[in-house]
Structure formats: C-alpha cells, structure tokens
Amino acid sequence: MKIEFTAEQLKYQESFRNFVKTEIIPFAAKNDRTEYLPTELVEKVAKKGYLGATISEKYGGLGYDMITLGLLNEEVGRGCSSTRALLTVHGMVAVAIEKWGTEEQREYWLPKMAKGEIIGAFGLTEPKIGSDAKSIETSAVLSDGNYILNGSKKWITMGQIADIFIVFAKLEGNPTAFLVEKNRQGFSTKKIHGLMGVRASMIAELFMDNCYIPEENMIGRAGTGLSHVALSCLDYGRYTIAWGCVGIGQECIEESVLYANKRKQFGCTLSQNQLIQKMITEMVVNVKAARLMCLNAGYLKEIGDPETIIETWKAKYFASTMINKVAGDALQIHGANGFSQEYPVERYYRDAKINEVIEGTTQMHEILIAKNIMGHK
C-alpha cells in the first residue's frame, strides 16, 4: 500500500477542514452545553452533500471513496463529535439500504437521504440488550401484508430528529431488519438528556406499540438482520468512529502545543518541560499510529479485501483506547484549566470515552480480535 493522498483527496480534505473551521467549531461548545444539534447546522451539512457521502452518485450521493470518507470523518470529528455521529448513523442506514435493500427501496430512500430531506438512525440497542445483539427482544409478526412491531430501543443516536430508522426485531425468532418511519402509527420516541459526552447527538429511546409497517419495509431477508445488514452497518460505523477518534486526537495535540507554548511555570513555558515534551510526543505517535491503521482499513475496503473487517475492528479498538489516553494527557497538560469549559479539551475528554462503548465495547473488540488471531470461532 502506498500511503499517499491523491490530489483530489487533498482538495477534499482542505474543503472539509474549512467547512468545519467556519460552520462547526465556533458553535460546538454551545451545542454541547444545550445538548442540541441546530437544524441550521444539519441543513448546512446536507447542503454540502456530506449526508450523501457514502451514497452512490446513481442515487444522488457523492460516492466518496473510503479514504475520502475517512478524511471527512476525521475533520468533522476534530470539530464536534456529535456532528460526526450524525454522519455515522445516517451513513449506516444508507449503507444498509444500498447494499441489502431492493431497487425500489434504493430509488425511493437514497436520493432523499443524499439531499438531507430525511435523516436516518440505527436502532439495535435495547434497554436490556447491548453487546449481546442476538438476544434482542423487539418482535415482528407478519399479518395481512404488514409487519407488526413491538418493543423498544435505547441510546439511539439522532433518534430525536431522525425521519427513518433501521430497527432490528425478531421475526419467528430470527433477527431481521426493518425500515420504520417516525410517523408510523404505534411508533414514538423519548428524548434522553444528561449524557457525559457527545451531548448534542440527540439521543432518544424508541417505542413500538403494535407499530404497523408495510411488508416491503423489510431490509434484506428474514433472519439476515445481524449476519448481513447489521454487520455491514456496524463495520461502516466502526470505521468512521475510528477516524473520528483520530480527529479528536489531532485537536488535543494542537490545543496542548498551543497551551504549552504560552503557559509559564517556574520561569519557563510548559513546552520546555521534558515531562510535557514526553506527553506530547506520545500523543503525536499514538494519533499517527491510529491514522495509519485507519488508512490501512480504508485501503482494504477500497480494494474489496475481506480482511478489512478485522482490520477495522483493530483500528477502532486502537483509536478508541488511544484517544482516551491522549485526551487525558491533554487535560493534564492544561492543569486546572483543563476542567473548565473555557478550554475545548474539557469537552474532548468527555467525548473520548463514548468511543470505547459505541459500535462494540473495548472488551468485545478484545475478545473478537483475540479469537481471530487464535483461529477460534
């Protein structure tokens, strides 16, 4: 693999960075405090076409290659993890429809998603079910050309503003994926507030009480909800999250260097302190290592190598654990100021932790990576 961006990718990267600098970073702290992602921001993201980044040009999307998608998520992740979360979950729904949906589903939903006319969200986790996804309790029953869904989902990113959800339910005991519109009778949501980090990600709980959806709203086939649909979605999700961690890490480095060069203690700047130099060196190396792992996973996706799935697991595992150390060191360098909302590292520190939980906990990653290495099923 030749690690070198094309001229087009570099142009995209600069464009992403400029957008984040002007439209996201100035408002990120306020969005975090209010636990709200403004409609105007979502509209600006949509106008740039970023909600269609993963959607093929055939359906009105941008059709970015996997490296460009990574760069987009890194840059947006630098500015605001909640906005990056919008790209992730919306993209997961688009991936599911384009890969596993019928042509009718693709032609109807994808152009709307690409334009940002509708927002998608991913409904797998339940109040009692997290990592053990095969044990979901939400049920689906076929009756007179409709599926009747009953159950609930929790911690659903963008659940407050999404128009369409991929909901996983058991159909005759087999996990199956369905498209559920928010205006369906029997479907409702409840806002969740008070999160430690990524507070503007518009988290919600979903409720389905005899929720009727048409038979054609199944995605894929009966029983392939986890093995096919969710696998594709979660792989994409892990990939974007890993890149987002790189973005937070890069911001932690830049904020720490800026602070260390200005802050004076004992007659010299912090940057002259060898222990501070050691911390920043480790931050730089770890962020670069995570970026290279992301690039490797993206390259493998681009050439269709099946090893990309496990390499994405590794990239997400390393990046999510790395960013907690990096964000912790950034806060430490800032001292007491690091605990103040006047400095962005306070938010980065809180946002970092969620990455070790979403789309597979650190421990699930360790189990699956180890099993892959040792050849266990």
Question: Which residues are annotated as catalytic?
Answer: 359
Query: ∠113-20-164 over CA atoms, to 5°?
Result: 20
211-229 burial, b at 16+ Cβ within 10 Å, e below that, comes to bbbeeebbbbeeebbbebb
Q: Taking the CA atoms of the chain, what radius of gyration do you get in angstroms?
A: 21
Q: Which amino acid is at 216?
A: E
Phi and psi, residue 151, nearest 5°: 145, -170
93-105 burial, b at 16+ Cβ within 10 Å, e below that, comes to bbbbbbebbeeeb
CA–CA distance, 354 with 373 (Å, rounded to integer): 26
Sign of CA dihedral 157, 85, 111, 123: negative
Of the candidates 9, 11, 97, 115, which has an alpha carbon nearest to the alpha carbon of residue 53?
A: 115
